[in-house]
Amino acid sequence: MSALEATELRMGYTSGKLRTEILRGLSLTVEASQLTLIAGPSGCGKSTLLSILSGLQRPDAGNVTALGEDIWRGNRHAQDRFRLLHTGFVFQGFNLFPALSALEQVMLPLGYMGVDDPAAEVRGRAALEEVGLGERMRLLPAELSGGEKQRVAIARALVKQPQLLFADEPTSSLDAANGQIVIDTLRRIAHDHATTVLCVSHDPRLVRYADRVLEMEDGVILNDRRVAPAGQVEAAS
């Protein structure tokens, strides 16, 4: 079952008389309840693709269907509402508020969803416990390590109980130990919560933990591989 479908996506920009194509008629499907990795070198278009698939950026051409809905149909309010209710985001730069504790960071999106404070705190505590930060929830970002900040960001996405979770280079600024924790957490979210996790990264450590690897280069997908449970990569059928 597919959670995301994209058809003939095209994206580019013009500088003077020069036209640079970022996505070149790219089509794909992303299966539900799996960790799918989009891998490739810097500049290949993978972050642009993630932005389009998550509804943050409109392509020049092509269509995206998420959870059976055309994400570009309707007005901006409807698109924002869809992202609020159904998606979570994890970014390379953490995107935490300096004056908020870890728990307050995680509770924040629930307020926009209409969840009252007591219920939001219960869910926030549970999300932080799940990522191993139960004893750190009262700390500010300045008091947390890089890996802990990224786990707060994951908890903030997870607390919404999203069907779709998008991660953009989530391990690129982390050391090996913290990067491994983040990788393990993303895989567990996909399998234990039945969440569709789509991650873009050039970090080779992610490959053996993904259920599927899409290799990108120059705006197209060159290879589609499945990863066996033991970590051996197999060609997709």
Domain assignments of the chain as residue spans, ordered by start: 2-229
Region 31-57: what's the mean pLDDT? 92
Q: Strands 69-70 and 87-90, how do they pair? A: unpaired
Q: What mean pLDDT comes out for the span 58-79?
A: 90
205, 208, 214, 218: CA torsion to nearest 10: 30
pLDDT grade for 205, boundaries at 50, 70 and 90:
confident
The CATH superfamily of 2-229 is P-loop containing nucleotide triphosphate hydrolases (3.40.50.300)
149 or 92, greater pLDDT: 149
Helices (H) and strands (E) in the chain, counts: 6, 11
pLDDT above 50: residue 230 = no
